[in-house]
Amino acid sequence: MHHRTPAATVGVVGGGQLGRMMGEAAGPLGVEVVVSDPTPDCPAAPVVRDQVVGGFDDEGTIRELAERADVLTFEIELADPDVMARVSEATGTPVHPDPDTLRTIQDKLVQNRALADASVPVPEFRRVDTPADLRAAGEALGWPLMLKAREGGYDGRGNRPVEGPDGVEAALEAIGGAALAEELIDFEREVAIMGVVGDGGRRVYPVTETIHREEILRESVTPARTDGAVRSRARAVAFDVLELLEGRGVYGIELFETREGEILVNEIAPRPHNSGHWTIEGTVCSQFEQHLRAVLGWPLGGTELRSPAVTANLLGDVADPGPVELSGSEAILEADAASLHWYGKREARPLRKMGHVTLAGDVDADDEDGREALLSWARELVDATTFA
């Protein structure tokens, strides 16, 4: 296929940090990005061609975006699949990944059913609409269990462990809507794989280990500190997941590694993902460049590991939301192995992702101590920063 360069404009619903990093990846390719976001001068705005200001589900906004783009994509699950499908029909601008994929993934119950029906391993789960449903789920799956909001939960928001029958009403009230119960997995570690579906097939990136506290991703370590058999199993599961998804693009596939070395799917994101930020420094083609190539139907880029990499998130540590500056970043900038990514968000909130640091180290991919040292170093660099 013949490609002219510069050849394309990609319209992205959402202009947060993922849209910003897509804009950064688009420049070298000669691709232009236009984003839509309800927040004027959103984080992506400084690095993209233009922003259309409007809601994620506002038809006029999405239509204006589609009319200016060769293909539409999204960096946030709050994008409305029905609106995007209608706009695509009206304007002839394709949407990738397919709105049907977004519909499936937006509802955790639908997502788990689709996976289970395809024999992809997932935790045992039950639909929960009432306190009686949740009590029955506890009897069937065992206490404690994990209660998840079916819609709107991301980054661990909308997940709540329930210790026993006494906690049922409070948990359902906190979730505040349709839910599902999952068996609580006693996992050895959480891992993730960024996968991509393109015109020329499917590829996966190396297995990443993801470290969460308070349900928020703190650090990632690539390659994951697990054995080769587990990594192979994770890759096989990731390819099975990609088979199920309609439409081109990058997908973040979050997995549990159980104590027995089994792999279960936790969640899928139909977009680049925090657990893939290491790919900017750690691989030939970052997840952001890969997503642009995929949605445009261009040849996919290489997913091979260039060097082991550790990322650590810079999270808002302020008590009150407000405008902030990052102080203490000198040590990050002075460290030869470190790359600083600042997202340009107007205000910090507790646990809000404000940026990240990646250490791409000169360590051997099989050297677990080397990755351990990189992780400690990344934590030190992040701990030395404050928001003021």
**Domain 8-95: CATH architecture, name and number where available:** 3-Layer(aba) Sandwich (3.40)
pLDDT at residue 184 in the model: 94
113, with CB counted inside 10 A (0-12, 13-18, 19+), is: middle
* Cβ atoms of residues 46 and 67 within 8 Å: no
Say what the pLDDT of residue 185 is. 93
Give the Å distances, CA to CA, from 147 to 126, 153, 237, 269, 289: 10, 11, 24, 19, 35
Cα(44)–Cα(23) distance, rounded to whole angstroms? 7
For residue 119, the tally of other CB atoms under 10 A from its CB is 8
Question: Which pLDDT score, from 0 to 100, does residue 153 have?
Answer: 63
Give the residue extent of every domain in the chain.
8-95, 124-183, 187-387
Going by C-beta distance under 8 Å and a sequence separation of 6 or more, which residues neighbour residue 56? Answer: 13, 14, 36, 37, 38, 76, 78, 79, 80
Distance CA 110, CA 180 (A): 10
Pairing of strands 208-213, 201-204: unpaired
Binding-site annotation: residue ranges? 108, 148, 182-185, 190, 212, 266-267
pLDDT at 311: 98
232: left (phi over 0), alpha (psi -120 to 50) or beta: alpha
**pLDDT recorded at residue 78:** 87
Binding site as annotated, residues for ATP? 108, 148, 182-185, 190, 212, 266-267
Q: What is the DSSP string of 180-213?
A: EEEEPP-EEEEEEEEEEEETTEEEEPPPEEEEEE
Buried b (16+ CB within 10 A) or exposed e, 317-346: ebeeeeebebeebebbeebebbbbbbbbbe
- Which residues, other chains included, contact 28 with Cβ-Cβ below 8 Å and sequence gap of 6+? 289
Architecture of domain 187-387: 2-Layer Sandwich (3.30)
Pairing between β-strand 159-162 and β-strand 145-149 as defined by DSSP bridges: antiparallel
- The answer for residues whose C-beta is within 8 angstroms of residue 205's C-beta and 6 or more apart is 193, 194, 195, 276, 279, 283, 287, 303
Partners of 276 in the β-ladder: none
For 333, the enclosing helix (H) or strand (E) is helix 330-334
- pLDDT tens, N- to C-terminus, the chain (388 residues): 555 555 799 999 999 999 999 999 999 999 999 999 999 999 999 999 999 999 999 999 999 999 999 999 999 988 999 999 999 999 999 999 999 999 999 999 999 999 999 999 999 999 999 999 999 999 999 999 999 999 876 555 688 999 999 999 999 998 888 899 999 999 999 999 999 999 989 999 999 999 999 889 999 999 999 999 999 999 999 999 999 999 999 999 999 999 999 999 999 999 999 999 999 999 999 999 999 999 999 999 999 999 999 999 999 887 777 888 888 999 999 999 999 999 999 888 888 999 999 999 888 888 889 999 999 999 999 999 988 7
The pair of three-digit structure tokens given for residue 325, joined into one six-digit string = 């500056």
The conformation of residue 340, written as its DSSP 8-state character, comes to: E
Task: Classify domain 124-183 at the CATH topology level.
Answer: Dna Ligase; domain 1 (3.30.1490)
